């Protein structure tokens, strides 16, 4: 990875899994060491001139869909999940600020003591002024995933690309954890993803990206340096366009 390479993108939306903030096998929901490592990788790209919006899931604390299957009202379960994303957003904000990066959390649910309310034009102004913006509490509505939040916020802030950091190194024609010899795609079209029924994102998020012509890059975030490489536009993972 070259420190002198010019970033390929001016503004991106990075979607992080909440479960990626937890150390495997640990009882802690958030690992400060992992969050610090992620923050430093993001900070490197920020210092190179990339404007970054962030959406982080809440799966390390809570999954609304699973709770609803066990008898909890689905809307209530989803609101609990939105609050989980706020906790993760605040942890990332703290780590980014320690890494020397100015950072703002905007929440789709009003909670003025810990985060600003989401205002689209204000978010874009922060990005223009080289602040990272973390979009918390999902869309503010139940029944929508944080993938959908990422697709929606990417369109609202005019991000050039949606980057989805996951536990696999791209999009495969079958689950590589279950199917030996599954083929990874370097590039693939939206249409082919639909025809092959590849589960890149939930259908609402995927359709939003497709309709608004937002390329999606899926990559493995657990390999050290990969987040920085992706944010700087180095070839990595799978690009869907």
Q: Is 76 annotated as a binding residue?
A: no
Q: Is 28 annotated as a binding residue?
A: no
Q: Is 11 annotated as a binding residue?
A: no
Q: Is 172 annotated as a binding residue?
A: yes
Q: Is 16 annotated as a binding residue?
A: yes
Q: Is 31 annotated as a binding residue?
A: no
Residue burial 68-89, b: 16+ Cβ < 10 Å; e: rest: beeeeeeeebbbbbbbbbbbbb
How many CB atoms neighbour CB 27 within 10 A? 6
Q: Is 146 annotated as a binding residue?
A: yes
Distance CA 21, CA 108 (A): 21
Residue burial 156-189, b: 16+ Cβ < 10 Å; e: rest: bbbbebbbbbbebbbbbeeeeeeeeeeeebeebe
Sheet holding 11-16, edge to edge: 116-117, 103-107, 132-136, 51-56, 11-16, 161-166, 216-220, 238-240, 187-188
Q: Is 64 annotated as a binding residue?
A: no
Q: Is 79 annotated as a binding residue?
A: no
Q: Is 118 annotated as a binding residue?
A: no
Q: Is 78 annotated as a binding residue?
A: yes
Q: Is 81 annotated as a binding residue?
A: no
Q: Is 143 annotated as a binding residue?
A: yes
Distance CA 74, CA 66 (A): 9
Q: Is 220 annotated as a binding residue?
A: no
Q: Is 63 annotated as a binding residue?
A: yes
Binding site residues for UMP, as ranges? 58, 78, 139-146
- Binding-site residue ranges: 15-18, 58-59, 63, 78, 139-146, 166, 172, 175
**Binding-site entries for ATP:** 15-18, 59, 63, 166, 172, 175
């Amino acid at each position: 990875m070259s420190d002198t390479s010019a970033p390929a993108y001016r503004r991106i939306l990075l979607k992080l899994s909440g479960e990626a903030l937890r150390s495997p096998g640990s009882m802690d929901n958030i690992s400060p060491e992992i969050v610090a490592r992620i923050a430093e990788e993001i900070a490197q790209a920020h210092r190179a001139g990339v404007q970054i919006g962030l959406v982080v899931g809440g799966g390390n604390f809570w999954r609304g869909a699973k709770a609803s299957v066990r008898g909890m009202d689905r809307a209530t379960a989803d609101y609990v999940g939105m609050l989980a994303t706020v906790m993760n957003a605040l942890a990332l904000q703290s780590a980014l600020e320690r890494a020397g990066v100015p950072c703002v959390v905007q929440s789709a649910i009003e909670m003025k003591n810990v985060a600003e309310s989401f205002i689209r034009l204000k978010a874009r102004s922060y990005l223009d002024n080289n602040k990272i913006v973390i979009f918390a509490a999902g869309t503010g509505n139940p029944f929508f995933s944080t993938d959908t939040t990422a697709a929606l916020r990417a369109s609202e802030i005019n991000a050039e690309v949606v980057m989805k950091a996951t536990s696999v190194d791209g999009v495969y024609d079958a689950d590589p954890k279950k199917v030996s010899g599954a083929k990874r795609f370097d590039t693939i079209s939206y249409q082919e993803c639909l025809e092959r029924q590849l589960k890149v994102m939930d259908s609402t998020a995927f359709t939003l990206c497709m309709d608004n012509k937002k390329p999606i890059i899926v990559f493995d975030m657990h390999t050290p340096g990969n987040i920085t490489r992706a944010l700087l536009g180095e070839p990595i993972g799978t690009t869907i366009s």
